[in-house]
Amino acid sequence: MFDIGFFELLLIIFVILIVLGPEKLPDAVKSSSKALLWLKKQSTKTKQEFTRIFGLNEIYQDSRNEEILEGLKESKK
């Protein structure tokens, strides 16, 4: 996803440790993980809402059915 290597990750952790200090690091990790979890939930809810509102499941199924029908027509030739 981000294409970050092991040493880059260690460098990022080291810089964060220096900037925040060891006292504030656990709180920062906790609040960051809560924020990421909230963001993931909101993303999932938004995707579900778009799917429901715009009928994306039906559109996908219709396009898939058309692909199958075209494949059947070509195989009959």
Alpha-carbon distances of 30 from 34, 36, 49, rounded to whole Å? 6, 10, 29
56-76 and 6-54 helices cross at what angle (nearest 10)? 90
Q: What is the pLDDT of residue 37?
A: 96
Q: What is the pTM of this model?
A: 0.53
d(Cα 66, Cα 39) in Å, to the nearest integer? 36
- Checking if the pLDDT of 67 tops 90, the result is no
pLDDT at 3 over 90: no
Structure tokens, 17? 């440790």
Share of the chain above pLDDT 90, in %: 31
The whole-angstrom separation of Cα 49 and Cα 11 is: 39
Choice between 76 and 42, residue whose per-residue pLDDT is larger:
42
Residue-level pLDDT at 77: 66
